Amino acid sequence: MKVRLIKNCEGPNPAYNPKKPKDEVTNWPVIPKLKGTVIDHPDAHYLTYGEDPNAEPVDEEAKAKFEVYQKNREAGLAARALRAAEDGSDSTEA
């Protein structure tokens, strides 16, 4: 599953060695991941979720997961708004 970062982020350093001291220049557990970087990982689709996502889906598998997420999110927001209208309260805020 592939996604493309739409903003600069931090991510795991594949060269990180926990047995080496962290004060070495190249041995950090996380490193910068630049906007435009394509991430290929089974859980990469999670980066496309939320109100301020970090990535956009690139391949068909990630796009399908994103569409399911969008439909479920819209249904959840509609149910929350309906409950708020029935209760007379404003529970639309997270």
Could you tell me if residue 92 is inside a domain? no
**Under 8 Å between Cβ of 44 and 62:** yes
* Model confidence pLDDT, tens digit, residues 30-50: 999 999 999 999 999 999 998
Could you tell me if residue 94 is inside a domain? no
Spatial distance between the Cα atoms of 17 and 22, rounded to a whole number of angstroms: 9
- Quick one: pLDDT band at residue 89, thresholds 50, 70, 90? low
Could you tell me if residue 38 is inside a domain? yes
CA-CA distances (angstroms) from residue 20 to 25, 26, 32, 36, 45?
Answer: 11, 10, 20, 30, 32
Specify the pLDDT at position 92. Answer: 54
Per the structure, how many domains does the chain have? Answer: 1
Q: What is the model's pTM?
A: 0.71
Could you tell me if residue 48 is inside a domain? yes
Specify the pLDDT at position 86. Answer: 87
Is residue 25 scored above 90 in pLDDT? no
- Listed in sequence order, the residues at least 6 apart from 74 whose beta carbon sits closer than 8 Å to its beta carbon are none
Domain containing 16 equals 2-87
Spatial distance between the Cα atoms of 83 and 45, rounded to a whole number of angstroms: 30
Could you tell me if residue 19 is inside a domain? yes
